């Protein structure tokens, strides 16, 4: 098989190939060839970076294994390991509810009722009942129309 290459002036490349004693002509755009070349180069660069990163990871792992004498270094400062899991209870898990769990339930319900009553008492204050407060803790100052200021809290001018 013989291959010939001819550049054409209109931005195309023409490949001539001989197959079975017949010349076959392939017309290819030069832009497509350059695009294929740049994609191939980019793939090679990415592959090289991946191999380099892999070898650096292996080097780091080997240096950490060498320093296994237990002494902290500036590279491996040996911070203490903290356990963030909840502490395990010391009592045995029984088949049903216990007296302690029942008491804890009643304590939680009492605390919940207490907070509900407190929130209801707070909602009875004039800050939440009186419409002149506009959501402020104290009623806003009334200014003359030329000196009114925009309030960031309620979005009104007063």
Is residue 126 over pLDDT 90?
Answer: no
Distances (CA, A) of 13 to 21, 23, 34, 57, 118: 22, 16, 11, 45, 86
Token output for 3 = 């291959």
**pLDDT value of residue 144:** 94
Token output for 8 = 């054409």
Is residue 110 over pLDDT 80?
Answer: yes
The angle at the Cα of 58, spanning 52 to 63, to the nearest 5 degrees, equals 125
Is residue 38 over pLDDT 60?
Answer: yes
Q: What is the pTM of this model?
A: 0.32
Is residue 75 over pLDDT 70?
Answer: yes
**pLDDT value of residue 66:** 45
Is residue 11 over pLDDT 70?
Answer: no
Is residue 83 over pLDDT 80?
Answer: no
**pLDDT value of residue 135:** 78
Q: How confident is the model at residue 28 (pLDDT cuts 50, 70, 90)?
A: low
- Half-sphere exposure for 102 (CA within 13 Å, toward CB): 4
Mean pLDDT score of the chain: 77
Q: How confident is the model at residue 134 (pLDDT cuts 50, 70, 90)?
A: confident
Token output for 149 = 């200021």
């Amino acid at each position: 098989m013989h291959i010939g290459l001819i550049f054409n002036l209109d931005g195309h490349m023409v490949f001539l190939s001989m197959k079975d004693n017949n010349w076959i002509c392939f017309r290819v755009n030069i832009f497509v060839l350059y695009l294929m070349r740049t994609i191939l180069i980019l793939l090679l660069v990415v592959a090289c970076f991946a191999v380099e990163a892999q070898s650096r990871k292996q080097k780091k792992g080997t240096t950490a294994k060498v320093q296994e004498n237990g002494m902290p270094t500036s590279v491996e400062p040996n911070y203490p390991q903290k356990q963030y899991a909840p502490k395990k209870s010391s009592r045995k898990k029984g088949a049903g509810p216990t007296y302690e769990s029942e008491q804890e339930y009643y304590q939680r319900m009492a605390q919940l009722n207490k907070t509900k009553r407190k929130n209801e008492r707070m909602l009875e204050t004039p800050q939440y009942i009186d419409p002149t407060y506009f959501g402020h803790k104290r009623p806003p100052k009334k200014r003359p129309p030329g000196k009114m200021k925009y309030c960031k809290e309620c979005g009104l001018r007063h």
